[in-house]
Amino acid sequence: MAIVSRRAPPRCAVTTIMPAPGGPSSTSRHSSGVKSAFPVMPPSSHPSLRRPSLGQSRPVRPEGRGAGPGEVHPVARWRHGRRTERPVTIRPQELRNATGGGTRIATEEADARPLFVIAHNPQVDTALPFLLRIPLEGGLVLKARDTWPRSSRIYCHRFEEDWPEEPEVIEAVPVTLCRRRGAAIDLVLDRPRLARSQFVFAEVKGRPAIFWQTQRTARTANPGGRVPRRRALAEGFTIVVDTRERYPFRFAGMAVTSDRAALPAGDYGVRTDDGQLRAAVERKTLENLATSLSDGTLAFQMQRLAELPLAAVVVEGRYPGLFKLEHVAGAWLGDILARLQVRYPEVQVVFADSRRFAEEWTYRFLAAALGDAADSDPSGLP
């Protein structure tokens, strides 16, 4: 390939002959016939000047010492025929922790996000040949039948031992989301396919069981296993009614008892076995809702409700009824309510149509909140 300078006169123009990769060396000559004093070296003449293949990267080690964990290294890349450098933070310790030992994961660079690791089960004569390490509360280790629920739900079980020191890792994928929600664990991986799944903790014939499922495979499960609950409340429970509630729900015909006590937030609540307030519900009529929106009371009530693990506001009426009230603009009330819902997304507002259905919804919400109460075991099993 010849490159001719256009700024120089014709007699002084310089033509540079660039050799092909790995080909013989050449020299640059002036158009005047004078040989250039700068020889052209082939790319393969020195190891430090060898050009890597397309897409290949090579870390540049600092002079005088090795690379320690957490240091920022410049990484050389070849893009469109040009050599560029960019800083990359390498954290080898995190990779060792994710894999449980000295196993090296073939990744281009260390990722600060947690990893979902799949490895071979070192136990012999087992029907669950794979290990799953879920990055939740110190690492939850399960053994499973397969590496992904492709056609049906996969049965899993707790791994009785610790994570192997040098596991035979099959796959390690960065995790976008891993969160426990009651009797289930939502897992979202950072990859285009086979990314969303869920671990559900249920009971089969009175014995605890864990199933790994996706949206597609969940359709094949029984209706109770699609959205499971942690434990059934066969003996009923107690709903605490705030002492300032003037016309409380009676919960007639429901397996529940009521007890009067002062609540820090809400009108109805349930407590766990250790006495902690698990969930609360604030009851409103349409007229009371309009008043609390107008004078700003609802904003402070939702602020207190947001401090609880679970909370809601139930309205004895329909949302269109908010626009039919007299002496107040319905659009203005709707705008304030929307702003409060955006400000406190953890507090849901439910319009239950009537007092009867508001009572029904409050009972079911508090029962589900108490049934899905988290315990000390990260797996949710007794």
How would you label 13-37 residue by residue, b for 16+ Cβ within 10 Å and e otherwise? eeebeeeeeeeeeeebeeeeeeeee
| Neighbour tally for 310: CB within 10 Å | 23
Whether the predicted pLDDT of 251 surpasses 80: yes
Pick the CATH number of 237-371 from 3.50.50.60, 1.20.1050.10, 1.20.1250.20, 3.40.50.10130: 3.40.50.10130
Lowest mean pLDDT, pick from 150-164, 217-231, 238-252, 286-300: 217-231
How high is the pLDDT of residue 218?
Answer: 83
Residue-level pLDDT at 255: 86
Looking at the predicted structure, is the pLDDT value of residue 77 above 90? no
200 and 217 Cβ atoms separated by less than 8 Å = no
pLDDT per residue over 168-212, tens digit each?
999 999 999 999 887 889 999 999 999 999 999 887 777 888 999
* pLDDT score, position 336: 95
User: What was the pLDDT predicted at 196?
Assistant: 95
pLDDT over 60 (residue 42): no
- Which of 219 and 125 is assigned the larger pLDDT? 125
User: How much is the average pLDDT of 330-335?
Assistant: 93
Among candidate residues 196, 98, 130, 142, the one with its CA nearest the CA of residue 187:
196
- What would the mean pLDDT of 105-130 be, rounded to a whole number? 80
Average pLDDT, the chain: 76
Average pLDDT over residues 283-292: 95
**Position of tokens 């196993």?**
103
Percent of the chain predicted with pLDDT > 90:
50
Under a CB-based contact definition with an 8 Å cutoff, are residues 240 and 256 in contact?
no
Cβ atoms 40, 19 nearer than 8 A: yes
Instruction: Give the residue among 312, 316, 313, 314 at the shortest CA–CA distance from 354.
Output: 316
Structure confidence at residue 332 as a pLDDT band (50, 70, 90)? very high
| Range with lowest mean pLDDT among 17-26, 118-127, 263-272 | 17-26
At residue 223, the pLDDT reads 55
Reply yes or no on whether the pLDDT at 25 is more than 60.
no
pLDDT score, position 347: 96
CA distance 134 to 114: 9
Residue 216: closest CA among 231, 189, 197, 202: 197
| Per-residue pLDDT reduced to its tens digit, 255-284 | 899 999 999 999 999 999 889 999 999 999
Q: Please give the backbone phi and psi of residue 261, each rounded to the nearest 5 degrees, phi first.
A: -165, 160
Residue 133 has pLDDT above 70, yes or no: yes
Higher pLDDT, 2 or 311: 311
pLDDT for 353 beyond 80? yes
Confidence at residue 132, expressed as pLDDT on a 0 to 100 scale: 96
pLDDT at 13: 46
> For the segment 49-70, what is each residue's pLDDT rounded down to a tens digit?
455 454 454 444 444 444 444 4
* Residue 103 pLDDT exceeds 50: no
| Range from 60-74, 156-170, 365-379 carrying the lowest mean pLDDT | 60-74
Please list the alpha-helical segments (H only) found in the chain: 92-99, 223-226, 286-295, 297-305, 330-343, 355-371
Confidence bin at 20 (pLDDT 50/70/90) = low
pLDDT at position 378 over 70: no
DSSP H helix total and E strand total for the chain: 6, 21
Range with the lowest mean pLDDT among 24-38, 81-95, 135-149? Answer: 81-95
Predicted local distance difference test score (pLDDT) of residue 202: 82
Q: Is 273 exposed, middle or buried (0-12, 13-18, 19+ CB in 10 A)?
A: exposed
Where do you find CATH 3.40.50.10130 in the chain? 237-371
CA distance 270 to 131: 38
Per-residue confidence at 342, pLDDT binned at 50, 70, 90? very high
R_g of the chain, CA atoms, integer Å:
33
Average pLDDT over residues 134-154: 92
Question: Shortest CA distance to 95 belongs to which of 173, 177, 161?
Answer: 173
Residue 243 has pLDDT above 70, yes or no: yes
- Predicted local confidence at residue 183, as pLDDT: 82
Is residue 110 within 8 A of residue 139, CB to CB? The reply is no
Residues 180, 272: Cα–Cα separation, whole Å: 18
Cβ atoms 348, 313 nearer than 8 A: yes
